[in-house]
Amino acid sequence: MSDIEALRTEWTTLYSEILPQMAKSGDPAQPVWPVTFDHCFARIILDSVIGNSQQPWDAIIHKPAIRNMNEQQLRDAIALGQKIRAGEVDLCCLDEASLRCRSKNERKYAKTTPSKTVAHRHQPASTIAGRKRAVEEVDRPAAQSTTVKSRKTGKQQSTLKFRQSETSTELTSTANFAAEGKTTLAKATQAGKEELKRTLDRIHSHPSLTPYRKKLYTTLLSVPRGRYTTYAAISDYLKSSARAVGNGMRNNPFAPDVPCHRVLAADGSIGGFHGDWGKDGKYATKKIQLLRSEGVRFDGRGKVLGKPFREFQPLTDVEGGILL
């Protein structure tokens, strides 16, 4: 078997078997699986690696993709599929980017109640009649199109999940933090207040910390859950340098209570963690997992989405459930 045939086999197995099976079983690699059909996974991945999330893959290469992708495109598609499989990228984010580049009308997509841990979403029947399915256009020759279409039912799985704040406690919390980010006021539970007090006491009573590092760590405490900041943003606030910020966090004795994992590079890449730097660093995957568990999202290239947090204040005390 030639190299390109081996890549084609690996790619087909990944998008048509492995990922759909993970989605249907609610694998914890993704907090939400917005799609379960094989052709949806192919669309999402190919729109990202071939279309750069700017245009549909089939506007660049001819159909079927499996016969018209070159070796590098196959390798890139497999690599992104493996990142989805490992939970290193947010599938929902990639799906939304794919739909945007295809000019989908978001109002045509409706959210249904998830079954078990898998999110099954369907389009209203009225929107289906005039739409073409992409299933036969991705990796199947045109001769198979009739067979695939004959199995089409009256319902089609939607490929866009709207994370409305009223239906998601976690996203409501994240949205509230963002809205209140200017003053970083966060209503805390009693347990949270006590934990924060203990962390502040540990910082202020540490015998070997310099005043700069104490201010750095208390400033980090003001970066709310679900947000990220950058080395440059903190250095601007502290009137120091990004290198000084990085050095101070490299020896953070209070992690993860003092959330140095919420600090990324200025270009939105992962930055450093536990002394290693970059997406290939020893602890990069752990840093991404921590951020994603808090609601921070990344694109298919590992770059963070959204604007960095800049409304810092060094926390000194906790009063009445308010971080001061």
Domains (range + CATH), the chain: 3-162 (no CATH), 182-323 (1.10.10.10)
Q: Could you tell me the two tokens for 242?
A: 């990004």
- What is the mean predicted confidence (pLDDT) over 22-40? 89
Which pLDDT score, from 0 to 100, does residue 114 have? 42
- DSSP per position, 36-85: -SHHHHHHHHHHHHTTTTTS-GGGTSPSSHHHH--HHHHHHHHHHHHHHH
Rounded Cα distance between 196 and 190, Å, is: 10
pLDDT band at 110 (very low <50, low <70, confident <90, very high): very low
pLDDT of residue 322: 39
Per residue in 234-263, pLDDT (tens digit) is 999 999 998 888 888 887 888 778 888 899
Q: What is the largest CA-CA distance in the chain?
A: 75
- pLDDT tens for each residue of 197-241: 888 888 888 888 899 999 999 899 889 888 999 999 999 999 999
At 188 the pLDDT is: 43
Question: Which range among 58-67, 80-89, 164-173 shows the weakest confidence by mean pLDDT?
Answer: 164-173
* Euclidean distance between CA atoms 32 and 12, whole angstroms: 23
Of the listed ranges 29-33, 132-136, 263-267, the one predicted with least confidence: 132-136
Active site residues: 260
> How crowded is residue 199: how many other Cβ atoms within 10 Å of its Cβ?
18
Q: What is the pLDDT of residue 175?
A: 52
Most confident of 21-35, 104-118, 260-274: 21-35
| Per-residue buried b or exposed e for 300-324, using 16+ beta carbons within 10 Å of the residue's own CB | bebebeeebbbbbebbeebeeeebe
Is the dihedral angle over the CA atoms 193, 194, 195, 197 positive or is it negative? positive
**Mean pLDDT highest for which of 49-63, 148-162, 280-294?**
49-63
Number of other CB atoms surrounding residue 297 within 10 Å: 16
